[in-house]
Amino acid sequence: MNSIESQIRRLPLALGPDPRRVLLRPFMPSLIVKPLSPMEPNQRVAHLFSRVMLLDDAAVDEKLGEVMADFDERHQRIRDIFAERYEQIRPLLPTDRELGEGRRLLLGSYFTNEYSLESSALFNPSMVAAPDQEGVGEGELRFILSLRATGEGHISSITFRSGVVSREGGIRLDPVSRFVHQPRPQPAARYDLRTFRRKLEELGVEHETVVACTRDLADGFIMEDVVRLVKRLRTSAEEPAVRRAADRALMLAQANYTVRFADGLGISEKIIFPYAPSESNGIEDARFVRFTDEDGSVTYYATYTAYDGNVVLPQMVETRDFQEFSFCTLNGAAVRNKGLALFPRRIDGHHVMLGRQDSENIHIMFSDHLHFWHDSQIILRPSEPWEFVQLGNCGSPIETDAGWLVLTHGVGPMRKYCIGAILLDRQDPTRVIGRLREPLLRPASDEREGYVPNVVYSCGSVVHGPNLILPYAVSDSASRFAVVPLTSLLGAMEHK
């Protein structure tokens, strides 16, 4: 153990997955549980509908009563959700007959299921100062913690916790609600054709196919235009590549959307669950940062990885209040791979971001537009045995008087993950001016077991008072907190 490791204080707090936090999700018989299972008529749907229709009114009321007795206390607005679900599956039913309320609700319940979004893991935390600091004590900081929650089918979503950290580094977590809620999504208002075509090419669609697929779209088009285009090309396009490109175009359009939560929800009740097809296998590793622009305005951005089982799509989400969130694709040749992390302010008028474009080294990139990144350069390569396999960041850089503090992750023998740290020049962040030669944090003896063993990992920390507050994941299963004296950390770096 090196000198800085000996000064780290691991807090006795642990955030583990809670299988009781269940979300009501659409269910279709015979389909694997996925966020976006297609709503298509099938024989089992018809059979299920027929069986419910054969029940007399008394039997319907009795069965609905059993369902409500079983599930009413586990959810808020459950009757409204059953009613909404019935309206969603109504086009699949072989009748135009108007059904009674009880039968509609019972049918809705048969096409709904509980999804335990944290049943497998709660990990890869990212910590930011909360927008509202009212009511905290002197020297305290209220924070919001985002975490990657993983449930059935290994589908990942974003969940939140909140709490207060004292000047000395003590943490009080707020109570966690039993209830969870999804927001309602809305597609982006309008899409730019030139940008849209460029992104399709970045996703591997050949230029000629992109042109053939999108030639009927206007320079500024809306979601309905894409839906009509895809329906037509699926049946009329002779080239299979064009049909596949049309499906990819729909996926890309659906990856840009906005969600808003109902008023009055606590932060722990808010769940960002995969919505777009590009996210159908999960929303992974959100790195939130409190970004202050040159006019003093504050926006919270997070880079994350959308994954559909085949394609990794780097995305960005932004919010000002953790009430409304806007999601968009990132564009440009430099937007590749996982682990993008935005600096918390512009430098010399440019947005700056870290990445790991080649899966091995830490890169830096600059842009005049937040959503477009065209070039990157390597600033750090693996040089120590504990990081020989690969390097990456553990969240957005933190500005200190000494420079930009960047927590890193390094992968060594037996795919063991450790957390390290480097220091970048404040004026020229392409310059590495300090570096820990030994890990800052490595898996302790009670942190080595989990879904992916021998891993400590973080997606974002904060400096408060004299300390770095480091939330970190334990073997892709749960999350903990460590407190690191900032002066000692900076002093332990080997300066260049």
Mean pLDDT of the chain: 93
Q: What is residue 97's predicted lDDT score, i.e. its pLDDT?
A: 86
Q: Are 317 and 371 spatial neighbours (Cβ–Cβ below 8 Å)?
A: no
Residue 34 has pLDDT above 80, yes or no: no
Flag whether 146 is in a domain: no
Task: Name which residue leads in pLDDT, 31 or 254.
Answer: 254
pLDDT exceeding 70 applies to what percent of the chain? Answer: 97
Q: What is residue 45's predicted lDDT score, i.e. its pLDDT?
A: 86
Helix 223-236 and helix 240-254, axial crossing angle in degrees, nearest 10: 160
Nearest residue to 470 (alpha-carbon basis) of 486, 455, 487: 486
Do 52 and 97 share a domain, yes or no? yes
40 pLDDT band (50/70/90 cuts)?
A: low
Do 333 and 455 share a domain, yes or no? yes
Flag whether 155 is in a domain: no
Do 311 and 396 share a domain, yes or no? yes
Backbone angles phi, psi at 449, to 5 degrees: -100, 140
Flag whether 161 is in a domain: no
- CA dist 165 and 171 (Å) reads 4
Flag whether 430 is in a domain: yes
- Which whole number is the average pLDDT over 444-448? 97
Backbone angles phi, psi at 271, to 5 degrees: -125, 125
Residues 6+ apart with CB under 8 A from 467: 168, 169, 483, 484, 485, 486
Output b/e per residue, 386-425; b: 16+ Cβ within 10 A.
bbebbbbbbbbbbebebbbbbbbbbbbeeebbbbbbbbbe
Residue 101 has pLDDT above 70, yes or no: yes
Number of domains in the chain: 3
- Which whole number is the average pLDDT over 464-493? 97
Given 69, 96, 116, the domain boundary residue is: 116
Do 298 and 407 share a domain, yes or no? yes
Unique residue bearing structure tokens 């830490």: 362
31 pLDDT band (50/70/90 cuts)?
A: low
Q: For 263-303, write each residue's pLDDT tens digit.
A: 999 999 999 999 888 888 899 999 999 999 999 999 999 99
Q: Are 393 and 409 spatial neighbours (Cβ–Cβ below 8 Å)?
A: yes
Helix 193-202 and helix 240-254, axial crossing angle in degrees, nearest 10: 110
Do 10 and 30 share a domain, yes or no? no
Nearest residue to 439 (alpha-carbon basis) of 409, 415, 466, 460: 409
Given 116, 140, 173, the domain boundary residue is: 116
Residue 106 has pLDDT above 60, yes or no: yes
Do 13 and 31 share a domain, yes or no? no
Residue 41 has pLDDT above 80, yes or no: no
Flag whether 125 is in a domain: no
Do 289 and 402 share a domain, yes or no? yes
Q: What is residue 112's predicted lDDT score, i.e. its pLDDT?
A: 95
Q: What is residue 299's predicted lDDT score, i.e. its pLDDT?
A: 98
Given 70, 97, 116, the domain boundary residue is: 116
Do 352 and 314 share a domain, yes or no? yes
Q: What is residue 30's predicted lDDT score, i.e. its pLDDT?
A: 63
Flag whether 339 is in a domain: yes
Residue 202 has pLDDT above 90, yes or no: no
Q: Are 426 and 405 spatial neighbours (Cβ–Cβ below 8 Å)?
A: no
Flag whether 172 is in a domain: no
Q: What is residue 309's predicted lDDT score, i.e. its pLDDT?
A: 81
Do 107 and 248 share a domain, yes or no? no
Task: Name which residue leads in pLDDT, 154 or 378.
Answer: 378
Flag whether 142 is in a domain: no
Question: What is the CATH number for 474?
Answer: 2.115.10.20
2 pLDDT band (50/70/90 cuts)?
A: low
pLDDT exceeding 90 applies to what percent of the chain? Answer: 74
Residue 403 has pLDDT above 90, yes or no: yes
53 pLDDT band (50/70/90 cuts)?
A: very high
Do 250 and 320 share a domain, yes or no? no
Do 206 and 338 share a domain, yes or no? no
Q: For 318-369, write each residue's pLDDT tens digit.
A: 999 999 999 998 988 899 888 999 999 999 999 999 999 999 999 999 999 9
Do 312 and 394 share a domain, yes or no? yes
Q: What is residue 438's predicted lDDT score, i.e. its pLDDT?
A: 96
Minimum mean pLDDT range among 167-181, 324-338, 366-380, 475-489: 324-338
Full domain range(s) for residue 27: 22-116
